[in-house]
Amino acid sequence: MSLALVFLLVAFVLLLLIDAPIAVALGLSSVVYLLIADTAPMIVVAQRAVAGIDSFTLLAIPLFLLAGLLMVHGGLAPRIIALCAALVGQRTGGMAIVMIIACMLFGSLSGSGVADVVAIGTMMLPAMRERGYDPGFSAAALGCAGSLGTVIPPSIVLIVYGTVTNSSVGQLFVGGIVPGLLLGLGLMLVAWVQSRRFGWSGGEPFDRARLAAAAKDAALALLAPVIIVGGIRSGIFTPTEAAGIGVAYALFVGVFVYRSLNLRTIFRLLRDTTETTGAILLVIAAASVFGWILAAERVPQLAVAGITQTTDSRIVALLLMMAVLLVLGTFMESIAIILILAPVFLPILGHYGIDPVYFGILLTVNLAIGANTPPLGIDLMAACRVAGIPMSRAFGHLIPFLGVMVAVLILMILVPGLVTGLNDLMQ
């Protein structure tokens, strides 16, 4: 390891410790490296940053973000919640289960964990508090359920991973369906057990007429993910084109069907999308420079040598990579982890014959766990803010939810068909 690489890593860690934005930490540490190594002119920073975001697929990010916001403010989210409530009824833990199902369904519209948490949480958490649910429990359940938006298609994280690794975004989307369902079922089981222990119940009694009316009202919302994922997988349009279709569909439903959107709201959502996209692309640009330096320093080759000398087992290698990701996920943002580590892990995947699409789903599940693990835990943090409580109040209720998510991750490692099965059937 060269002295310049040591300075790169030390500068990066120190900037993270002083709570510098991840894009600043990546960019400044890269500049420090170039100043010390003196192996390339400083113009390389600009060149690599521009090259990192020069991808047509990345255009899907602002489009999916905008589509998600339009669906939130266009009246789709309340209808999804109403359908889930009618389906669950007064069962034990009913409101928590409603929230988890709603997060799963809305995650198939927004593609973002934080958007999922805020959209569903603002409507569900006050009602759960009135029913006697502990706010810490509600926030823990919401954070973990909301993070499924990074696994269930159309996931922004999967789009970034597919771009970085040159993997099929369509196959990634299909691969995330079964794991997303398993995670949701696991979270619902934990919610039911905990609710039974404390005597928390659901809302109104189950009624078939109410369910039929709610299903009819939510039909347009449920049709959106079918159009997006089905269109991509059938080859009708690319992921980027699918994102554009999603925007057009959300505008049509919100303006002409539900009549919940006006020009002022649309312009505000365009501004919000621009701000969020700018932040994401800045991270991608800075990480591209950082990743180029790691490649120049032969870090991927060193990683391959380190793991291959440790074990010949494919499963052990996967567990080692998952352990690294679990640790990093506690204090780093998901997209930054993908941009930095995916190029490092790719040669390892090739050595063990691991499908990058399969690994991408494992990675996103891992990052969903990290999004709820202190000290960062961005989804848990958002859930606690919506609930109006400190993060520490959710910690005691968080362990069972994280435990079941880790169990699903291990199951996916032991049974790869849970991820690859749908893609194999569709070929």
For residues 27 and 46, what is the distance between their CA atoms, to the nearest angstrom? 10
Establish whether the linkage from the previous residue to 154 is cis, with ω within 30° of 0.
yes
d(CA 406, CA 37): 41
Instruction: Output the tens digit of pLDDT for each of the chain's 427 residues.
Output: 577 888 888 888 888 788 788 788 888 888 888 888 877 788 888 888 888 788 777 788 888 888 878 877 887 777 888 888 888 877 777 888 888 988 888 877 766 777 778 778 888 888 888 888 999 999 999 999 999 988 988 888 898 899 889 898 889 999 999 999 999 999 999 999 998 888 887 667 777 888 888 888 888 877 887 888 778 777 788 878 888 888 898 888 888 888 888 899 999 999 988 988 888 888 888 888 888 888 788 777 777 777 878 888 889 889 888 888 888 777 777 888 888 888 888 888 988 899 999 999 999 999 999 889 877 778 888 888 888 888 888 988 999 999 999 999 999 999 999 999 988 887 6
3-class DSSP state for residue 275?
A: helix
Q: Which residues contact 252 (CB under 8 A, 6 or more apart)?
A: none
Is the pTM for the entire model greater than 0.85? no
Please enumerate in sequence order all residues whose Cβ is within 8 A of that of 390, keeping only pairs 6 or more positions apart, or say none: 384
Query: Which two tokens mark 91?
Result: 């069962």
Query: Taking Cα atoms as reference points, which of 114, 164, 122, 169 lies closest to residue 279?
Result: 114
Domain boundaries, the chain: 56-426
**Among 245, 246, 16, 199, which Cα is nearest to 95's?**
199
DSSP for 208-241 reads: HHHHHHHHHHHHHHHHHHHHHHHHHHTTSS-HHH
Closest CA to 104 of 123, 125, 119: 119
Grouping H, G, I as helix, E, B as strand and the rest as coil, residue 207 is coil
